[in-house]
A and B are shown apart, each in its own frame.
Chain A
Amino acid sequence: MTALPLILTVFVACAVEATEALTIVLAAGLIREWRSTFQGLAAALVVLAVIVAVLGPTITLLPLTALRLVIGALLAVFGLQWLRKAILRATGYKALHDEASAYLREAAAAEQAAVSSRHGVSDWYAFTLSFKGVLLEGLEVVFIVITFGATQHDVGAAVIGAAAAVLVVAATGVAVRAPLARVPQNAMKFTVGIMLTSFGIFWGAEGAGVSWPGHDGALLVLVPVVALVSLGYTALLRHTAAAERAPADNPAQEVTRS
């Protein structure tokens, strides 16, 4: 497999998480103060980089079969989580993630918090808000970078995808100085869910001893099949949701039926 699918998957996953982190950083910076916010951001990026630097090379020391089994299982579970959430959001069973309202919530909380300085940081609230936001959103990206990078023995390519996404999102955020509410986050999450699930199935089954028909070429079938099944579930749930709403939209029909 070439490095391109690896870089693209990490790029899209990282762009989704970076968009969410940017909302928190903007709330901390614009409402509180930028210096402490940047200190929090830098501290979180250092922690994330250390995790990648320590776990990346360590995990590649494991035997390939065991590595593929464990990472395949983790990616499959993780991918299904992303897909489940994206399908529930796309069909209206779960509210779409709205960066504009998330920003307003964070900004309201930031306005009310008291100012206190600690450990050389002038605004501890801005520091911790920025640090926690970037660290928590970044952990998922680190997980994807390490698992994809280690299994392909190309952590560097995964890091390039993640770094490119952070730069693109950060540059856009600086340019518009507002939460990126127009980013099609759910569609991106759906795409990443499909990729994680497909690679999870492929590597997990290989780790369990399976020999895929067509070897690596099986992925070219697996990815579209996972996409089709996910789209099928989405269509089915949309149909169910519409059928559930129909009696509420048309009370006369309900009365006639009863």
Chain B
Amino acid sequence: MKRLKAIGAFWCDFVVGDDWRVAVVVVAGLALTAVLVHAAGVNAWWLLPVCMFAALGWSLRRATRP
């Protein structure tokens, strides 16, 4: 069980990295894009780049805040 937990923690850290909030923003951005495209018929190609740049800026701000 301990080994399984360690393997899970390793892969989580490997994929998600230092700031899990970035991963959450990426997934939320993709979900919102899919909803806009399929439910509202909006070709929201611009949404994901905006989410990504905001996530990067937010993460950098958190990392450098005194």
A interface residues, Cβ below 8 angstroms from B = 69, 72-74, 76-78, 80-81, 83-85, 87-88, 91, 93-94, 139-140, 197, 200-201, 204-205, 207-213, 218, 222, 225-226, 229-230, 233, 237, 240-241, 244
Q: Which residues of B contact A77 (CB under 8 A)?
A: 15-17, 22-23, 26
| In contact, B49 and A222 (Cβ under 8 angstroms) | yes
Q: Which residues of B contact A83 (CB under 8 A)?
A: 56
Closest chain-B Cβ to A203's Cβ sits at a distance in Å of: 10
4 nearest CB pairs, A to B:
A209-B37, A81-B17, A208-B34, A208-B33
Q: Which residues of A contact B7 (CB under 8 A)?
A: none
A29 to B33, CA, bound (A): 51
New contact pairs (19) apart from A77-B16, A205-B48, A233-B60, CB-CB < 8 Å: A76-B26, A76-B48, A77-B17, A77-B26, A80-B56, A80-B59, A83-B56, A84-B17, A84-B22, A204-B26, A208-B30, A208-B31, A208-B37, A209-B33, A210-B48, A211-B45, A226-B49, A229-B56, A237-B60
| In contact, A88 and B63 (Cβ under 8 angstroms) | yes
Q: Which residues of A contact B37 (CB under 8 A)?
A: 208-210
Closest chain-A Cβ to B22's Cβ sits at a distance in Å of: 5
Q: Which residues of A contact B23 (CB under 8 A)?
A: 77
A28 to B41, CA, bound (A): 58
26 contacts across the A-B interface (CB closer than 8 A): A77-B17, A78-B17, A80-B22, A80-B56, A80-B59, A81-B19, A83-B56, A87-B60, A88-B60, A93-B63, A140-B14, A200-B26, A200-B52, A204-B48, A205-B45, A205-B47, A209-B34, A209-B38, A210-B37, A210-B43, A210-B44, A210-B45, A211-B43, A212-B45, A230-B56, A237-B64
Q: Which residues of A contact B8 (CB under 8 A)?
A: none
Closest chain-A Cβ to B44's Cβ sits at a distance in Å of: 6
Q: Which residues of B contact A197 (CB under 8 A)?
A: 52
Q: Which residues of A contact B27 (CB under 8 A)?
A: 73
| In contact, B56 and A84 (Cβ under 8 angstroms) | yes
A73 to B56, CA, bound (A): 15
Residue of A84, A222, A237 with most chain B CB atoms under a 10 A cut-off: A84
| In contact, A78 and B56 (Cβ under 8 angstroms) | no
Q: Which residues of B contact A218 (CB under 8 A)?
A: 45
| In contact, B56 and A233 (Cβ under 8 angstroms) | yes
Closest chain-A Cβ to B58's Cβ sits at a distance in Å of: 10
A94 to B64, CA, bound (A): 9
- B5-33: contact bitstring with A at CB < 8 Å (1 yes, 0 no)? 00000000011111100110011001101
| In contact, B56 and A74 (Cβ under 8 angstroms) | no
Closest chain-B Cβ to A64's Cβ sits at a distance in Å of: 16
| In contact, B52 and A76 (Cβ under 8 angstroms) | yes
Q: Which residues of A contact B44 (CB under 8 A)?
A: 210
| In contact, A78 and B64 (Cβ under 8 angstroms) | no
Q: Which residues of B contact A213 (CB under 8 A)?
A: 45
Q: Which residues of A contact B15 (CB under 8 A)?
A: 74, 77-78
